[in-house]
Structure 1
Amino acid sequence: MKLKTSRRGALKLASLAMAGVLLSGCGLSSGSAVPLAVEPGSIKPVPELEGVTITVGSKNFTEQLVLGYIGQFALSAAGANVRDLSSIVGSSTARRALQSGQIDTLYDYTGTSWISYNGNNDPIPDARAQFEAVKKQDLERNGIAWTAIDYQVDNTYAFAVNQDAAKRLGVEKLSDIPRIVAEHPEDATFCVDTEFANRNDGMPGVEKEYGFTADKSKMKILTEGSIYQATANGTCTFGEVFTTDGRIKALDLKVLTDDKLFFPRYNIGITTRDELLKRYPQITSVFEPVSKALTNDELVKMNAQVDVDGRDPADVARDWMAEKGFVKIPGR
């Protein structure tokens, strides 16, 4: 299935590419205007946020784009002067942008903070314990505050195979991979993206935890979006996926069970600098009802609308916010 890009989407991609250049250089623009207008719904204007400029960032994959726009529309409805700085390339780059004040809010994942930002090696399987540990460590070490945590969303990593490989090789869980590496080396092929290939909570950690070493000559480094199709058509046997990605269902992929519970919990929450949240604690009340409405199923549907149906992430996010009553769409 091929992603269709709208004209506005093409223009957006061009501006995002420029944002990536600026991030990698000596400075960063203040972002662009929010791409679509909204009016207050159940999210009412907040006097303390009226006219306050808040730059909302996101990373450069579908779910992050959708979440970033959800954040923008929520704050716009609350009366803030919102700036859009979407599609920052790489988690570490996005975190640095937040710490430096280049962006002010970012939907992020507890597992990413625990492993990648704070350098812990062992995930905490319990979601609440993971969040409390992340919240404490990020505040003390980095001055980053977490708020409006959502335990209903856990977009953790996984490996998927197509149905033919699942039946032919008899793979159900990650602990089956060492057998494939040893007995069927020709099938021990992996498609992963650059970050996953190098992260502690990615390929190196999986190899260590499950006791195998992948042949690097049989590992393909692809863009995140192309991995799903490559796995479906058999270019690789094992493809790195996100569990809330709508393409898993659309392409009839089988997700392997993480039977040793290696991957951390990746619950989402709003991250911001502690000093900003202390100045504007109302940010929490704006986002809390949104977090209560977001679930894995809701994100799977929204992600599929972008990656399978070819809709613009901003349109998908605004329609969802309007459907839930958080905002109103002008003229409707």
Structure 2
Amino acid sequence: MHVRKTFTLLAAAALTLTATSACGSSDSVEAASAGNELSGAKFVIGSKDFTENIMLGQIAVQLLKAHGAEVEDKTNLGGTVPNRKALESKSIDMYWDYSGTGWIEHLKNATPIPDAAKQFKATADEDLAKNKIRWVGPTPLNNTYALAIRSEKAKELGVKTISDVVKLAKTNPDQASLCVESEFSTRDDGLPGLSKAYGLNLPKDKISQLDTGVVYTETDKGQTCNFGEVYTTDGRISALGLTVLQDDKHFFPIYNAAVTVRDETYQKYPALEKVLKPVIAKLDDTTMRKLNAQVDVDGEEPSKVSADWLRTSGFLGKSDA
């Protein structure tokens, strides 16, 4: 059951918690200069509270600073709802969100669009028209939800798809235990919608709500749950040897990341697009899995991982120090 890797991940989780438990974790990274397009601009940048979104937030913090902006770091602000409310109330100026989240959660559409480009355009167009929120992107990365199980258990139970889990819940319910995050347990694009789409009926005592990192380690252990809700760009999937089940009914939406910013801020600082777009274009699934693994598996700080990637990718100039 990958005992050594599980121990490594638990140790890394402790390091990550220390590194990201408060806003403003980028102070330890040296300032760099890559241009002055945003000289005189002031931004407050938020992020959600899981590793990938914190790192995307840190990428924005480091990048905009390098282009002359004054930035207040409010990454690791909380879940989707607190960030969206903070954006709308002008407590923050921008944060990274995902096209599927925008379409289902913010815009309250019931049916996702299977084509990635069409899904993003529909989300961006509707959010701008209705809420004056602009989406700058999208990234190639698609961080959609999935269900995973440790590989040896998948072979034992003969499960390859989510439909197989539905069958298992009927024939051997004791084996159909599931670990999820609290947010996933209530979202329309999470467990309620998944259960409806697949006809998945799990007893309440077979569903455990845990913190993100604990979902992975408990799925790997196979004691609290056999199945876990995961993010497809998470580096812990391969590190723990988990198998991602096929979403054979194509329930989960496409979640391409983008910077969401109020249109008034975008119009005031049009150089945001020029600065952000080249970086956005480089953030694909493979890149994001590697960056996520550096934090969640290796225990590095999100601010350092983000700045190192920007620098080695040629997006930061030389250090001012």
Question: TM-score, normalising length from structure 1?
Answer: 0.90
Among 156, 162, 171, the alignment partner of 1:168 is 156
Match of 1:199 in 2: 187
Q: Give the distance between the partners of 1:34 and 1:120, measured in 2 at CA.
A: 39
Gaps of 5+ in 1: 17-30
Please give the residue correspondences for 1:215-294 in structure 2 after superposition, counting only pairs within 5 Å. 215-235=203-223, 236-294=225-283
Using the TM superposition, give the Cα deviation of residue 164 of structure 1 relative to its aligned residue in structure 2, in angstroms. Answer: 2.2
Q: Give the distance between the partners of 2:89 and 2:49, measured in 1 at CA.
A: 19
Gap change, CA 1:90 and 1:8, over 3 Å in 2: closer
Gap change, CA 1:269 and 1:12, over 3 Å in 2: closer
AA aligned to 2:36 is: P
Among 127, 130, 144, the alignment partner of 1:156 is 144
Using the TM superposition, give the Cα deviation of residue 96 of structure 1 relative to its aligned residue in structure 2, in angstroms. Answer: 0.6
- Which whole-Å deviations, capped at 9, do the CAs of 1:265-289 have from their partners, x for residues lacking one? 0001111001111111110000000
Gap change, CA 1:284 and 1:157, over 3 Å in 2: same
Using the TM superposition, give the Cα deviation of residue 157 of structure 1 relative to its aligned residue in structure 2, in angstroms. Answer: 0.2
- Which whole-Å deviations, capped at 9, do the CAs of 1:18-59 have from their partners, x for residues lacking one? xxxxxxxxxxxxx78754233224xx221xx21211011110
Match of 1:36 in 2: 29
Among 288, 292, 308, the alignment partner of 1:299 is 288
Gap change, CA 1:8 and 1:194, over 3 Å in 2: closer
Using the TM superposition, give the Cα deviation of residue 322 of structure 1 relative to its aligned residue in structure 2, in angstroms. Answer: 0.5
- Which whole-Å deviations, capped at 9, do the CAs of 1:153-198 have from their partners, x for residues lacking one? 0000000001122011111011111110001111010000100001
Gap change, CA 1:134 and 1:66, over 3 Å in 2: same
Kindly, what percent of the aligned residue pairs are identical?
41
Match of 2:18 in 1: 10
Q: Give the distance between the partners of 1:205 and 1:38, measured in 2 at CA.
A: 44
Among 183, 189, 196, the alignment partner of 2:171 is 183
Using the TM superposition, give the Cα deviation of residue 226 of structure 1 relative to its aligned residue in structure 2, in angstroms. Answer: 0.7
Gaps of 5+ in 2: 1-8
Q: Give the distance between the partners of 2:300 and 2:20, measured in 1 at CA.
A: 13
Among 108, 118, 127, the alignment partner of 2:116 is 127
Q: Give the distance between the partners of 1:119 and 1:12, measured in 2 at CA.
A: 31
- Which whole-Å deviations, capped at 9, do the CAs of 1:238-281 have from their partners, x for residues lacking one? 10000000000000000001111110000011110011111111
Asked whether the 8 Å contact 2:30–2:320 carries over to 1, the reply is: no
Gap change, CA 1:230 and 1:11, over 3 Å in 2: closer
Gap change, CA 1:190 and 1:12, over 3 Å in 2: closer
Q: Give the distance between the partners of 2:279 and 2:261, measured in 1 at CA.
A: 16
Question: Are 1:108 and 2:97 matched, yes or no?
Answer: yes
SS of the residue corresponding to residue 177 of structure 1 reads helix
AA aligned to 2:169 is: V
Asked whether the 8 Å contact 2:179–2:227 carries over to 1, the reply is: yes
Question: TM-score, normalising length from structure 2?
Answer: 0.93
Q: Give the distance between the partners of 1:210 and 1:186, measured in 2 at CA.
A: 19
AA aligned to 2:260 is: T
Asked whether the 8 Å contact 2:96–2:258 carries over to 1, the reply is: yes
Gap change, CA 1:138 and 1:34, over 3 Å in 2: farther
Please give the residue correspondences for 1:130-145 in structure 2 after superposition, counting only pairs within 5 Å. 130-145=119-134
SS of the residue corresponding to residue 4 of structure 1 reads helix
AA aligned to 2:159 is: V
RMSD of aligned alpha carbons: 1.8
SS of the residue corresponding to residue 68 of structure 1 reads helix
Asked whether the 8 Å contact 1:189–1:218 carries over to 2, the reply is: yes
